[in-house]
Amino acid sequence: MKQYWTTPVAGVAILAIIGLFSTAHADGLERIIPGSEPLVEARKDSPEQHANKHADPTYICPMHPQVQQGEEGSCPICGMDLVLKVVGEGGGDGMPIVSVSSSTAQSMGVRTGKVTKRTLSRAIDTVGYVRYDESKLFHIHARASGWIKDPVVRVLGDKAKQGQRLASYYSPEIYTAQEDYLTALRSTSERQKQVDVLTRLRVMEVSESVIKDLEQRATITPHVPIIAPIDGVVTEIGVRDGMYVTPSTLLYAIADLSNVWVIVDVFPDQLNWVRKGAQATMQVDALPGEKWTGRVDYIYPELNAKTRTLQVRLKFKNEDGLLKPNMFASVKINNRPVAGAVTIPREALIPSSEGYRVVKVTEENHYKPVVVKVGIKTATQVEITEGLEVGDEVVLSGQFLIDSESNLQASFQRMSQ
């Protein structure tokens, strides 16, 4: 009984004799010649494994694949030991296994490491600028037309206290309303008019001190005060003594600096790791040695059209007032740790146009590139979400040479098909 198994290797069909091979001689007798291995054993091998057993050995240089010979030796170009060329077993990704002797692996500087589980936390390092907390930025306008009188705050950057008089102004409309209210107060039968005129005065934001003078002392205040609504720093001044103002005129802008915003940019690949409420730490060049802790307050809904980055707003306390708007800041955003992440050292990754690969140790001196999907990356570790399991061994250095050799063998296989 004749049995044949043909396997393509580098474009050559190798005939493997399996089991028993019968031959007929001139004397008419058929003699049974034992095969190179039992049929049961041969069936355990894949075609590539069986071809490697029976094919003539070919030794090649890992650095110069054009150097090939049928026996061991060294490369005439670089002097490296030639390695046995093994037809690799293609997995689902078609990447062959590469065999590298121990001595060659040592000269290539091959190091390996284990796939492990650990807790990973990703920190995003970025930069930004200190800004006013716009939720505590107040613009002050007059509610009626008039003339400014005796401004107290005249210089940008002056501090203001809540309830402090910033300036006064004379408004004919407010003066008339005071007279009407005083007249209504003198008549007990005009209760509704009192309510109407009092409402008018409050709509024009006449201070409570002016209203009390009308009610308790029957005194009209010609120049009503403009009052600071909060504690803060005056950031804009739109009036001068004697200036005519209308409700559209910006008199003052006051910013509360007890809290500040810091606007930073993050790159698109970092978007999934920014969460509202995440802790952030900040340092500024102007105040070396100082450090502030804050939180992610808001993530803006669209990317910057020019830089293609996403703006993130952080909020920091500034009770001592050291942080000034427009200061340059270095920020680190700390995200929630991921427990039980399957990780490898980051140096094991091989970037490609289609993603990432690593070189996996399949057995001693045998290596196979595998495609992996990555998650969180830190400075030293990277999370593997698909492609490896805990306990697998991967190559940490020298993997680029092995990956190149595997690609070369895959090309040989495709040429032979």
Residue 405 sits in the same domain as residue 348: yes
Q: 61: exposed, middle or buried (C-beta count within 10 Å: 0-12, 13-18, 19+)?
A: buried
* Helix %, strand %, coil % of the chain (to 5): 20, 40, 40
Residue with tokens 């809540």: 162
Domain-located, residue 205? yes
Domain final residue pick, 248, 278, 305: 248
Where does 81-136 show beta strands of DSSP type E?
Answer: 83-84, 98-99, 111-114, 116-120, 123-132
Last residue in a domain, options 317, 336, 355: 336
Give the residue among 229, 198, 202 at the shortest CA–CA distance from 215: 198
pLDDT in tens, 353-375: 778 999 999 988 899 999 999 88
Burial of 63 (0-12, 13-18, 19+ CB in 10 A): middle
Instruction: Give 4's pLDDT tier (boundaries 50, 70, 90).
Output: very low
CATH number, domain with residue 307: 2.40.30.170
Whether 232 and 162 map to the same domain: the answer is yes
Confidence at 149, pLDDT banded by 50, 70, 90: very high
pLDDT at 212: 92
Q: CA quadruple 389, 393, 397, 399: dihedral positive or negative?
A: negative
Residue 37 resides in a domain = yes
pLDDT for residue 396: 92
Residue 39 half-sphere exposure toward CB, CA atoms < 13 A: 9
Separation of alpha carbons 227 and 233, rounded Å: 14
Single-letter residue type at 412: F
User: Do 197 and 166 reside in the same domain of the chain?
Assistant: yes
Assigned domain for 109 exists = yes
Cα within 13 Å of Cα(350), Cβ side: 20
The rounded distance, in Å, linking the Cα atoms of 171 and 276 is: 47
State whether 243 and 323 are in the same domain: no
Tens digits of per-residue pLDDT, 197-254?
999 999 999 999 999 999 999 999 999 999 999 999 999 999 999 999 999 999 999 9
Which is nearest to 95 in space by CA: 415, 371, 394? 371
Hey, what are 225's tokens? 């005060």
* pLDDT (tens digit per residue) in 97-146: 888 888 888 888 899 999 999 888 778 889 999 999 988 999 999 999 99
Residue 48's pLDDT is 56
The answer to whether the CB of 251 falls within 8 A of the CB of 226 is: yes
Q: What is the pLDDT of residue 55?
A: 60
The arithmetic mean of pLDDT across residues 28-50, rounded, is 58
Rounded to whole angstroms, the Cα distance separating 285 from 329 reads 7
Residues 173-193 as b/e (b if ≥16 CB within 10 A, e otherwise) read ebbebbebbbebbeeeeeeee
* Inter-residue contact 324 to 130 (CB < 8 Å): yes
Pick 401 or 211 by higher pLDDT: 211
State whether 237 and 97 are in the same domain: no
Asked whether residue 305 carries a pLDDT value surpassing 70, the answer given is yes
Nearest Cα residue to 156 out of 228, 229, 235, 230: 235
Show Cβ contacts of residue 116 under 8 Å, excluding neighbours closer than 6 positions: 342, 343, 344, 390
User: For 341-356, how does the pLDDT look when each residue is reduced to its tens digit (9 = 90+)?
Assistant: 899 999 999 988 778 9
What's the number of domains the chain is made of? 4
Q: Is residue 70 part of a domain?
A: no
Rounded-to-integer distance, Cα 263 and Cα 273, Å: 17
Q: How much is the mean pLDDT over the chain? A: 82
Give the whole-angstrom CA distance, residue 213 versus residue 369: 88
My answer on whether 312 and 386 are in the same domain is no
Confidence band, pLDDT 50/70/90 cuts, at residue 17: very low
- pLDDT digit string, tens, across residues 155-206: 988 889 999 999 999 999 999 999 999 999 888 777 889 899 999 999 999 9
| Residue span of the structural domain in which 46 resides | 4-54
Please tell me whether residues 315 and 357 are part of one structural domain.
Answer: no
Closest CA to 151 of 251, 220, 246: 251
